Chains A and B, each alone.
Chain A
Amino acid sequence: MGERLAVRKTYKLYIDGGFPRSESGRTFPFVSGGGSEVVHLSRASRKDLRMAVRAARAALAGWTGRSGYNRGQILYRVAEMVEDRAATFAAQLELGGSSVSDARAEVAEAVDLLIWYAGWCDKYVQVTGNMNPVTGPFFNISVPEPVGVVGMVATSAPVLRGLVAGVAPVISSGNTVVVVASPAQPMIAITLAEALATADVPAGVVNVLTGFPAELAPWLASHMDVNAVDLSGVHPDALPDLEEAASHNLKRTGRWETPDANLYRIAAFTEIKTVWHPKGR
Chain B
Amino acid sequence: MARQDALAPRSGTGAPMWEYRESRENPALAGIRDRSGLWINGEETEPLSGRWFSTIDPATEEHLSMVAEAGPADVDRAVGAAREAVAGWAAMPVAERAKSLFRLARLVQERSRELAVLDTRDGGKPIREARDVDLPLVAAHFFYHAGWADKLEYAFPGVEPRPMGVVGQVIPWNFPLLMAAWKVAPALATGNTVVLKPAETTPLSALRLAEIAAEAGLPPGVLNVIPGAGETGADLVGHRGVDKVAFTGSTQVGKEIRRRLAGSGKALTLELGGKGAHVIFDDAPLDQAVEGVVNGIFFNQGQVCCAGSRLLVQESVASEFVDRLRRRLSTLRVGDPLDKNTDVGAINSAAHLERITELVESGQEEGALIYQPPCELPDRGFWFPPTLFTDVSQSHRIAREEIFGPVLSILTFRTPGEAVERANNTPYGLASGVWTSKGSRILWMADRLAAGVVWANTYNKFDPASPFGGVRESGFGREGGRHGLAAYLRGVG
Contact = CB atoms under 8 A, between A and B. Distances in A.
Contacts of B476: 250, 252
B159 A264 contact: yes
Interface residues of B, number: 47
Interface residues of A, number: 38
Contacts of A147: 471
Contacts of A248: 255
B16 interface: no
29 contacts: A130-B482, A132-B465, A132-B467, A134-B461, A134-B466, A135-B463, A142-B481, A239-B263, A240-B263, A243-B261, A246-B258, A246-B262, A247-B255, A247-B258, A248-B255, A249-B473, A250-B251, A250-B270, A250-B473, A250-B475, A264-B493, A271-B471, A272-B452, A273-B453, A276-B454, A276-B455, A276-B461, A277-B457, A278-B457
B478 A272 contact: yes
A277 B452 contact: no
A246 to B, nearest CB: 8
Interface in A32-47: none
Give chain A's interface secondary structure class. mixed
Contacts of A133: 465
Please provide the 4 A-B residue pairs with the shortest distance between their CB atoms, ordered closest to farther: A240-B263, A243-B262, A134-B463, A247-B258
B442 interface: yes
Contact of B491 (A134, A252, A264): A264
B446 A275 contact: yes
A134 B467 CA distance: 11
Given A136-B463, A240-B263, A247-B262, A275 B456 contact: yes
Contacts of A239: 262-263
Interface in A104-130: 127-128, 130
B214 to A, nearest CB: 28
Given A268-B493, A276-B461, 19 more contacts: A135-B140, A138-B458, A138-B461, A240-B264, A241-B262, A241-B263, A244-B259, A244-B263, A247-B258, A249-B427, A249-B472, A250-B254, A250-B258, A252-B476, A263-B157, A272-B469, A273-B453, A276-B453, A276-B458
B157 A276 contact: no
Contacts of B158: 263
B472 A250 contact: yes
A227 to B, nearest CB: 8
Nearest to B136: A135
B229 interface: no
B451 interface: yes
Given A250-B255, A264-B493, A276 B466 contact: yes
B157 A132 contact: no
A189 interface: no
A60 to B, nearest CB: 12
A227 B455 CA distance: 24
A276 B476 CA distance: 20
Interface in A194-214: none
B410 to A, nearest CB: 23
A127 B270 contact: no
Given A272-B452, A277-B458, A132 B481 contact: yes
B284 interface: no
Interface in B429-463: 442, 446, 451-458, 461, 463
B125 to A, nearest CB: 21
Contacts, number: 118
A187 interface: no
Nearest to A131: B465
B492 interface: yes
Contacts of B458: 138, 276-278
A27 interface: no
Interface string A230-274: 000000100111111011111010000000000110011001111
A140 interface: yes
Contacts of A243: 258, 261-263
Interface of A: 127-128, 130, 132-136, 138, 140, 142, 147, 227, 236, 239-244, 246-250, 252, 263-264, 267-268, 271-278
Contacts of A278: 457-458
Given A272-B483, A275-B456, A140 B463 contact: yes
Contacts of A236: 263
A113 to B, nearest CB: 15
A244 B465 CA distance: 33
A277 B471 contact: no
A95 B209 CA distance: 63
B259 A273 contact: no
A11 B250 CA distance: 47
A244 B262 contact: yes
B277 to A, nearest CB: 14
B472 to A, nearest CB: 7
A217 B456 CA distance: 40
Nearest to B482: A130
Contact of B446 (A242, A249, A273): A273
B475 to A, nearest CB: 7
B299 interface: no
A127 B473 contact: no
A142 B472 contact: no
Contacts of A140: 463, 465-466
A274 B453 contact: yes
B389 interface: no
A242 B456 CA distance: 38
A134 B452 contact: no
Interface string B245-261: 00000010011001101
B262 A277 contact: no
A268 B486 CA distance: 10
B254 to A, nearest CB: 7
A143 B442 CA distance: 15
Contacts of B383: none
Contacts of B298: none
A79 to B, nearest CB: 22
Nearest to B475: A250
A253 B482 CA distance: 21
B427 A277 contact: no
A267 B483 CA distance: 10
A274 B270 contact: no
